[in-house]
């Protein structure tokens, strides 16, 4: 039997895959040239929706409304879009083997395909407490979130156990967003996280105290410090309580865990170079092996603005890295070159009626402005990070699109600043007048 050969193959069907497909089409794609393989049963969608509007009790987001590229103001790409453009979309199809020497892949159903160029976009998966041996972590009623399937299971649990209570483990953005969704669904929530405050990798203590105060005012109980060390189940295997290291026991009908993600590296492991926990790529997302590209959460790429190599798990980078890789592939075919990837880190989160954006690097000295006035959700406040006399990072809660653009410009241009007080008194106007 002759094997099907594709000019391009994308392995993974998430955010990067969807944006890469659109870029292939925009650059000129002939029918039958591109195939996408995804373990998910849905065409690529905007994953961040899952911890936000997908879980709302009213007006919830549902497919096809959040297929890529809806999240960045583009056209939605439902499954028909792929058909119309002659793209073979293999859904519910896991790629088990990717052989970069043979330029072939094998699916879990045993089908084998050949390709000329592959873009690997397998993303990340959640870290499971059971993997680190937490007793009882295999109980029913413990939920994680990465894909629609996970979100549907959580929704069913919310409906089933309407009055909770729930324990959310983890104080990162997933924990915070999911807590907000549970509260909107009238579920009583206790958040548990180690460390001094929520979002420790980004928030300063001042920023964190605002968000923690806001959540507490919404009825959320926050337990900081002790880790969850054990889950007790009832006779049916359903979780009943969460035990913390300090001996505290919290009753829980639902447990939601958001303790981090790990990139899915299995397919290329040992075949291409790795760095910083991801696949090492250049400014065009080429791996160490010709015709093999890695994009999105799995790529460790040169962060030109800071002169180092980083791996980033943000949706904005997933979209932009995919576009960059496809442009590089098409340019190479024409014997042309494109500029290297020049990414400005950008991350955002939304919960309740809060919404923040962050651009740049959160290194050096942090200066938080407007925090004293920030009592209500309508308040605006933010943080600048100063390194070597320059502002290198900026965070803003409640900014308008223009104000968010202004803080992005600050992080990109890194203006000099004479003193911390200059930023404190100028606040947002430091950014808007640049
Ligand atoms: C719930 C949630 C909320 C988020 N919210 C935000 C946010 O507010 N802001 C932000 O900046 N970022 C957010 N992120 C992060 C952002 O969604 C990711 O950075 C982005 O989705 C990464 O895109 P990707 O294409 O690399 O991976 P993914 O979108 O995860 O896609 C990977 C795809 O590959 C598939 N796959 C994996 N292995 C195989 C295989 N062997 N064969 C076939 N298919 C395979 C997976 O099933 C999946 O479909 C959020 C993430 C999650 C999980």
Which atom belonging to ligand 1 lies closest to the Cα atom of 296? 26
1 has a pLDDT exceeding 60: no
Taking the centre of ligand 1 as the mean of its atom positions, its distance from the CA of residue 347, in whole angstroms, is 14
Average confidence (pLDDT) over 241-249: 96
207 has a pLDDT exceeding 80: yes
More confident residue, 144 or 162: 144
Mutate to test the pocket of ligand 1, among 9, 10, 13, 14 (most ligand atoms within 8 A of CB): 14
Average confidence (pLDDT) over 25-47: 98
2 has a pLDDT exceeding 60: yes
Residue 94: count other Cβ atoms within 10 Å of its Cβ: 15
Q: Is 126 in the pocket of ligand 1 (CB under 6 A)?
A: no
3-class state of residue 298 by DSSP: helix
Give the mean pLDDT of the chain: 96
Taking the centre of ligand 1 as the mean of its atom positions, its distance from the CA of residue 68, in whole angstroms, is 12
| Protein residue whose Cα sits closest to atom 7 of ligand 1 | 48
pLDDT, residue 434, reads 84
Average confidence (pLDDT) over 214-235: 96
Range of the domain at 412: 353-432
Cα(288)–Cα(222) distance, rounded to whole angstroms? 46
228 has a pLDDT exceeding 60: yes
Is residue 82 within 8 Å of residue 71, measured between CB atoms? no
Does any domain span residue 414?
Answer: yes
| One domain for residues 283 and 254 | no
Taking the centre of ligand 1 as the mean of its atom positions, its distance from the CA of residue 310, in whole angstroms, is 17
Does any domain span residue 8?
Answer: yes
| Protein residue whose Cα sits closest to atom 34 of ligand 1 | 12
Cα(224)–Cα(220) distance, rounded to whole angstroms? 12
Which atom belonging to ligand 1 lies closest to the Cα atom of 266? 41
Average confidence (pLDDT) over 302-311: 98
Q: Is 14 in the pocket of ligand 1 (CB under 6 A)?
A: yes
Structure tokens at 200: 């420790």
Q: Is 332 in the pocket of ligand 1 (CB under 6 A)?
A: no
HSE, CB side, 13 Å, CA atoms: give it for residue 148. Answer: 17
Taking the centre of ligand 1 as the mean of its atom positions, its distance from the CA of residue 180, in whole angstroms, is 21
| One domain for residues 266 and 121 | yes
Q: Is 15 in the pocket of ligand 1 (CB under 6 A)?
A: yes
12 has a pLDDT exceeding 60: yes
Average confidence (pLDDT) over 363-376: 81
Q: Is 37 in the pocket of ligand 1 (CB under 6 A)?
A: yes
CA angle 285–124–27, rounded 5-degree value: 35
Q: Is 347 in the pocket of ligand 1 (CB under 6 A)?
A: yes
Does any domain span residue 341?
Answer: no
Cα(345)–Cα(360) distance, rounded to whole angstroms? 5
377 has a pLDDT exceeding 60: no
Q: Is 123 in the pocket of ligand 1 (CB under 6 A)?
A: yes
pLDDT, residue 375, reads 56
Ranking 31-45, 75-89, 137-151, 420-434 by mean pLDDT, the lowest is 420-434
| Protein residue whose Cα sits closest to atom 25 of ligand 1 | 16
pLDDT, residue 112, reads 97
| Protein residue whose Cα sits closest to atom 2 of ligand 1 | 48
Q: Is 39 in the pocket of ligand 1 (CB under 6 A)?
A: yes
Does any domain span residue 301?
Answer: yes
| One domain for residues 139 and 109 | no
| One domain for residues 401 and 428 | yes
**Per-residue confidence at 163, pLDDT binned at 50, 70, 90?**
confident
| One domain for residues 155 and 98 | no
Q: Is 21 in the pocket of ligand 1 (CB under 6 A)?
A: no
The CATH number linked to 403 is 3.30.390.30
Query: At which of 259, 288, 320 does a domain end?
Result: 259
Does any domain span residue 346?
Answer: no
Query: Tens digit of pLDDT for each residue in 287-300?
Result: 999 999 999 999 99
| One domain for residues 328 and 371 | no
Q: Phi then psi for 4, rounded to 5 degrees?
A: -75, 135
The CATH number linked to 189 is 3.50.50.60
Structure tokens at 10: 């994308």
Taking the centre of ligand 1 as the mean of its atom positions, its distance from the CA of residue 146, in whole angstroms, is 7
pLDDT, residue 3, reads 82
**Per-residue confidence at 161, pLDDT binned at 50, 70, 90?**
confident
Is residue 170 within 8 Å of residue 259, measured between CB atoms? yes
Query: Tens digit of pLDDT for each residue in 192-202?
Result: 999 999 999 99
Which runs of E-coded beta strand occur in 53-199?
88-90, 95-99, 104-107, 112-120, 124-126, 142-143, 166-169, 189-193
146 has a pLDDT exceeding 80: yes
Does any domain span residue 361?
Answer: yes
Cα(9)–Cα(36) distance, rounded to whole angstroms? 6
| One domain for residues 254 and 150 | yes
Taking the centre of ligand 1 as the mean of its atom positions, its distance from the CA of residue 14, in whole angstroms, is 5
Question: Using CB atoms within 10 A of its CB, is residue 418 exposed (0-12), middle (13-18) or buried (19+)?
Answer: exposed
pLDDT, residue 313, reads 97
Q: Is 148 in the pocket of ligand 1 (CB under 6 A)?
A: no
Question: Using CB atoms within 10 A of its CB, is residue 400 exposed (0-12), middle (13-18) or buried (19+)?
Answer: exposed
Taking the centre of ligand 1 as the mean of its atom positions, its distance from the CA of residue 251, in whole angstroms, is 31
Q: Is 50 in the pocket of ligand 1 (CB under 6 A)?
A: yes
| One domain for residues 248 and 276 | no
Q: Is 42 in the pocket of ligand 1 (CB under 6 A)?
A: no
| One domain for residues 254 and 167 | yes
What do you get for the CA distance between the two ends of the chain, in Å?
64
| One domain for residues 106 and 150 | no
Query: Tens digit of pLDDT for each residue in 81-135?
Result: 999 999 999 999 999 999 999 999 999 999 999 999 999 999 999 999 999 899 9
393 has a pLDDT exceeding 80: yes
Cα(424)–Cα(403) distance, rounded to whole angstroms? 17
Percent of the chain predicted with pLDDT > 90 = 95
Cα(58)–Cα(48) distance, rounded to whole angstroms? 18
Query: At which of 243, 259, 275 does a domain end?
Result: 259
Is residue 136 within 8 Å of residue 115, measured between CB atoms? no
CA angle 146–147–152, rounded 5-degree value: 110
Structure tokens at 34: 């591109």
Tell me how long the chain is.
434
Query: At which of 208, 227, 259 does a domain end?
Result: 259
**Per-residue confidence at 164, pLDDT binned at 50, 70, 90?**
confident
Domain count, the chain: 3
| One domain for residues 16 and 107 | yes
């Amino acid at each position: 039997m002759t094997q099907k050969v594709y000019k391009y193959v994308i392995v993974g069907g998430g955010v990067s895959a969807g944006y890469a497909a659109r870029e292939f089409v925009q650059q000129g794609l002939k029918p039958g040239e591109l195939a996408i393989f995804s373990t998910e049963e849905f065409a690529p969608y905007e994953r961040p929706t899952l911890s936000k509007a997908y879980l709302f009790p009213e007006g919830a987001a549902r497919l096809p409304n959040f297929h890529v590229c809806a999240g960045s103001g583009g056209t939605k790409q439902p499954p028909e879009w792929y058909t119309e453009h002659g793209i073979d979309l293999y859904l519910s199809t896991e790629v088990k083997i990717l052989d970069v020497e043979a330029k072939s892949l094998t699916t879990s159903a045993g089908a084998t395909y050949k390709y000329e160029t592959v873009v690997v976009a397998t993303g990340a998966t959640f870290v499971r407490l059971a993997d680190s041996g937490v007793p009882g972590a295999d109980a029913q009623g413990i939920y994680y979130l990465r894909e629609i399937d996970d979100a549907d299971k959580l929704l069913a649990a919310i409906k089933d156990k309407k009055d909770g209570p729930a324990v959310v483990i983890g104080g990162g953005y997933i924990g915070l967003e999911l807590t907000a969704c549970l509260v909107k669904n009238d579920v009583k929530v206790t958040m548990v996280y180690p460390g001094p405050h929520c979002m420790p990798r980004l928030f300063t203590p001042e920023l964190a105290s605002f968000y923690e105060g806001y959540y507490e005012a919404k009825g959320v109980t926050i337990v900081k410090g002790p880790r969850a060390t054990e889950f007790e189940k009832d006779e049916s295997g359903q979780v009943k309580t969460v035990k913390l290291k300090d001996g505290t026991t919290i009753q829980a009908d639902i447990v939601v865990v958001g303790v981090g993600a790990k990139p899915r590296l299995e397919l290329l492991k040992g075949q291409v170079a790795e760095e910083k926990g991801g696949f090492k790529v250049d400014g065009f997302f080429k791996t160490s092996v010709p015709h093999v590209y890695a994009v999105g959460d799995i790529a460790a790429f040169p962060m030109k603005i800071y002169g180092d190599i980083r791996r980033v798990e943000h949706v904005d980078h997933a979209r932009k890295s995919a576009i960059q890789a496809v442009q590089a592939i098409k340019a190479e075919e024409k014997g042309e070159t494109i500029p290297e990837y020049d990414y400005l880190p950008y991350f955002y989160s939304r919960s309740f009626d809060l919404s923040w954006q962050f651009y740049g690097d959160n290194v050096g000295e942090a200066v938080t402005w407007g925090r004293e006035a920030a009592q209500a959700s309508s308040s605006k406040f933010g943080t600048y990070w100063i390194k070597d006399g320059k502002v290198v990072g900026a965070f803003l809660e409640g900014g308008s699109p223009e104000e968010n653009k202004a803080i992005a410009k600050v992080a990109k241009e890194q203006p000099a600043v004479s003193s911390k007080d200059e930023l404190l008194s100028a606040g947002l106007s430091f950014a808007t007048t640049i």
